[in-house]
Amino acid sequence: MHMDPQQRKLLEIVFECLENAGVPLEHASGPNTGCYVGNLTFDFVVMQTRDADYMGRYSATGLGTTIVANRISHIFNPRGPRLVLDNACSSSLYCLHVACMALEAHKCDAAVVAGANLIQSIEQHIARIEVGVLSASSACHTFDTSADGYGRVEGIGALYVKRLSDAIGDGGPIRTMANTEISLPSTNGQEMVIRRAMARGAVSSEEITYIECHGTGTKVNDEIEVDALSRVFKRTLENPLLALAACSLFSWM
């Protein structure tokens, strides 16, 4: 009763993630596996703290943001580093970045990277309305003149990541390989991040054929994102760049 549903749903999804990765529960327990969770919604905390009578013995752990990751470690018993990260819309992706850095530094041998976003109260929704980032039609019109914001939805997701050499050596399924102003993004900043990511992955802009955009559906952000991408990727009709706007599919985190 006192546990944030985001904690409960994460336990289910992480179990499915490990199962999909071919990791039996007895193998999940004990090894140096990290746990990195992106989370910025605290609706359950707001709901449960409106009245002191709602509080109980398990409220401290049920409401604690840090417990979102620690609950996973408690149940599945990995012994690696763990943290909860709030970096707004990029929380889950930044968790993946932190996990990859930990793997490269051999601070862990594997990592569960997850994100949780459940809409349970109205306060954060109202705050986003006041800022003006939510669409009046509850739909994203990304890179369109009718763009007026994005629509909020719920989502829980998890990945199990390892160093490629370890994944190959273990013989498990490999699904993919990756290299991985306060409210307003910067064109220069986005360009810099893209170029640094390419340098880290030792790839050139000409080698990249597909990108997934943020695509918030807000007039200012979309323009900044397209401008940054156009600075990096100089393409012709003979060498096109395919793109997908993530927020036109869902708004996770």
Domain ranges in the chain?
1-118+154-173
Q: What's the mean pLDDT in 114-140?
A: 89
Note the pLDDT of residue 250: 38
**pTM higher than the cut 0.75:** no
| Residues 39 and 84 sit within 8 Å (Cβ to Cβ) | yes
State which amino acid sits at residue 239. N
Q: How far apart are CA 226 and CA 154, in angstroms?
A: 26
From the list 69, 117, 130, 126, the residue with the least C-alpha distance to 90 is 117
Q: Which range has the worst mean pLDDT, 109-113, 136-140, 229-233? A: 136-140
* SS3 (DSSP) at 189: helix
From the list 40, 100, 102, the residue with the least C-alpha distance to 65 is 40
| Residues 151 and 134 sit within 8 Å (Cβ to Cβ) | yes
pLDDT tens readout for residues 161-186: 999 889 888 887 888 765 444 455 67
Note the pLDDT of residue 37: 97
Query: Per the structure block, which two tokens stand in for 199?
Result: 């340098």
- 118 CB neighbour count, 10 Å cutoff: 18
Could you tell me which residue, 253 or 62, shows the higher pLDDT?
62
Confidence of residue 32 (pLDDT cuts 50, 70, 90): very high
Percent of the chain with pLDDT over 70: 93
* SS3 (DSSP) at 234: coil
Q: What's the mean pLDDT in 100-127?
A: 93
Q: What values do phi and psi take at 108, rounded to 5? A: -150, 165
Q: How far apart are CA 14 and CA 21, in angstroms?
A: 10
Residue 63 in this model has a pLDDT that exceeds 50 = yes
Note the pLDDT of residue 241: 85
Q: How far apart are CA 123 and CA 129, in angstroms?
A: 10
Note the pLDDT of residue 159: 94
Note the pLDDT of residue 251: 36
Confidence of residue 193 (pLDDT cuts 50, 70, 90): confident
Cα 114 to Cα 7, 94, 146, 251, distances in angstroms:
11, 11, 33, 15
Q: Where are the alpha helices (DSSP H) in 78-210?
A: 91-104, 123-131, 164-170, 187-201
Cα separation of the two ends of the chain: 24
| Residues 32 and 87 sit within 8 Å (Cβ to Cβ) | no
* SS3 (DSSP) at 228: helix
Q: How far apart are CA 121 and CA 133, in angstroms?
A: 18
Could you please state the CATH topology (level 3) that the domain comprising 1-118+154-173 is classified under.
Answer: Peroxisomal Thiolase; Chain A, domain 1 (3.40.47)
* SS3 (DSSP) at 43: helix
H or E element in which residue 139 lies = none
**165 bridge partner residues:** none
Residue 253 in this model has a pLDDT that exceeds 50 = no
